[in-house]
Amino acid sequence: MSGQTLTDRIAAAQYQLTGSDVARAVCKATTHEVMAPKKKHLDYLISATNETNVNIPQLADTLFERATNASWVVVFKALVTTHHMCIHGNERFIQYLASRTSLFNLSNFIDKTGTHGYDMSTFIRRYGRYLNEKAYSYRTMAFDFTRVKKGADGVMRNMAPDKLLKAMPALQNQVDALLEFDVHPKDLNNGIINAAFMLLFKDLIKLFASYNDGIINLLGKSCLVKPLY
């Protein structure tokens, strides 16, 4: 399928009539075109998160609404856009996600319109679970493991023992959810899953760095404990 569908154009027009430029940009980023969300729409949405007059809940809720679409293309692009916003947008965005009582409900999602949609549905379910886990981690720790400072002066390296024992399981859960995406080279056959893979790969590198800092911190503290014998 190439080009925007009539449904895409009608949806964008509806948002334009309501005066919501942000919702319209979400709609344009999540069209039925089998390609990654366009950079110009993602850049607009990222910029919007830094504007004080932008309604972050409305922005996020529009993405959640798009994720209820029957088309794997629209849903997958909504997830990619959400992930992109978590990484590059203002922290207010992921703060709102973490505050929601419900997140992506995609555990039973399946697009039966064709073989490709059926195959991609598996990755959509896994991706939705990872993004939910990312929000849960933020809710638990009040920070994003992928965005905090790393290294000798990093957050995990200098965290207090009680908080560190809370952080490591949350971090492990997020890593586990990411690894469950379990994509293989033959599956990277369209721009949408390729975009998701790159975002996940970058997250994984940062999560491992945070995990490494946490382990170094734990080992350092264990060396300070006097033996009982």
Task: Please report which confidence band the pLDDT of residue 169 belongs to, taking 50, 70 and 90 as the band edges.
Answer: very high
Residue 17 scores a pLDDT above 50 = no
Residue 55 scores a pLDDT above 60 = yes
Residue 228 scores a pLDDT above 50 = no
Residue 223 scores a pLDDT above 60 = no
Q: Residue 190: exposed, middle, or buried by beta-carbon count in 10 A (0-12, 13-18, 19+)?
A: middle
pTM over 0.75: yes
Q: Structural domain boundaries of the chain?
A: 6-224
Average pLDDT in the chain: 91
Alpha helices in 35-160 (DSSP H): 39-49, 56-66, 72-88, 91-99, 115-141
What pLDDT score was predicted for residue 4?
61
Q: What percentage of residues in the chain have a pLDDT greater than 90?
A: 83
What pLDDT score was predicted for residue 1?
42
Q: What is the CA radius of gyration of the chain?
A: 19
CATH 1.10.3720.10 is right for the domain spanning 6-224: no
pLDDT, mean of residues 183-196: 97
What pLDDT score was predicted for residue 113?
87
What pLDDT score was predicted for residue 141?
97
